[in-house]
Amino acid sequence: MDKLRHSFTSALASGSVLSDRYEVVRPLGEGGMGVVVLARDRLNDNQDIALKFLRPEVAKKESTLRRFKREVEICRSLTHPNIVRIHELEETDTGIHFMTMEYVPGKSLAAATREGDPLPLETVFDYIVPICCALDYAHRKGVVHRDIKPDNILIDENGVTKLADFGLARLFDIDSQLTATGEAIGTPYYMAPEQLRGAAVDARTDIYSLGVMLFELLTGERPFDDDVYLKLATRHITNAFPSARERNPELPAWADRVTRECCEKEARDRFQSIGELAAYLATRLSGDSAQKISEIADKPTFFGKLLNRFF
Active site residues: 147
Rounded distance between C-alpha atoms, residue 123 and residue 159, angstroms: 11
Rounded distance between C-alpha atoms, residue 195 and residue 237, angstroms: 10
- Cα angle 34, 40, 61 (rounded to 5 degrees) comes to 20
Rounded distance between C-alpha atoms, residue 59 and residue 91, angstroms: 11
Rounded distance between C-alpha atoms, residue 19 and residue 92, angstroms: 7
Which amino acid is present at 52? K
What is the chain's alpha carbon radius of gyration, rounded to the nearest angstrom? 20
Q: What are phi and psi of 230, to 5 degrees?
A: -65, -40
Q: Which one-letter DSSP state was computed for residue 107?
A: E
Measured in whole angstroms, the distance separating CA 157 from the mean position of its chain's CA atoms is 19
Q: How many CB atoms lie within 10 A of CB 182?
A: 8
Rounded distance between C-alpha atoms, residue 122 and residue 93, angstroms: 49
- Cα angle 131, 134, 138 (rounded to 5 degrees) comes to 135
Rounded distance between C-alpha atoms, residue 198 and residue 227, angstroms: 20
Cβ neighbours of residue 251 closer than 8 Å, sequence gap 6 or more: 121, 218, 244, 245
Query: Looking at 81-138, which runs of residues are DSSP E strands?
Result: 86-91, 97-101, 106-108
